[in-house]
Amino acid sequence: MRVTRVIADLRVADLRAAKGFWADYLGLSSEEFDLGWVARHRSPDTGAEVQLLTRDASAPEDPVVSVLVDDVDAGYAEALDRGYEIVHPLTTEPWGVRRFFVRAPDGTVVNVVHHPDGDSGPA
């Protein structure tokens, strides 16, 4: 498994209210997507990005970070082999990504995800 991108996942109470700060004030003005519970904002100039979520729609816990990988199935198998806690099982989500959540030894919940079309869309 090779990591292709890492995106911070920040929990917010209201996506619309948060957009004013992240997009207008900090300049992450390109909204790549918005599913109502998760939205990603990116700087059109630098590519810097943040993913905002109110609550993950299909998992029991919210991730702190999304790690995009080239082979999520291999990553899942390795996490199991290492005995890491799987918080959300390997799943192909309705919005098209294949992902699982794993708890790092320090307790951080990590969304390990693969986008079938490369790196676009919600993690």
* Predicted local distance difference test score (pLDDT) of residue 122: 56
What is the pLDDT at residue 50? 94
In this structure, which long-range contacts are made by residues 114-122, counting pairs with CB atoms below 8 Å and at least 24 apart in sequence? 114/68, 114/69, 114/70, 114/71, 114/72, 115/68, 119/4, 119/5, 119/68, 120/32, 120/33, 121/32, 121/33, 121/95, 121/96, 121/97, 122/33, 122/35, 122/38, 122/40, 122/51, 122/95, 122/97
**Residue-level pLDDT at 120:** 52
Q: Give the chain's domains with CATH numbers.
A: 3-114 (3.10.180.10)
Give the mean pLDDT per block of 10 residues along the chain (123 residues). Answer: 94 92 90 87 91 92 95 98 98 93 97 79 57
* pLDDT on residue 118: 60
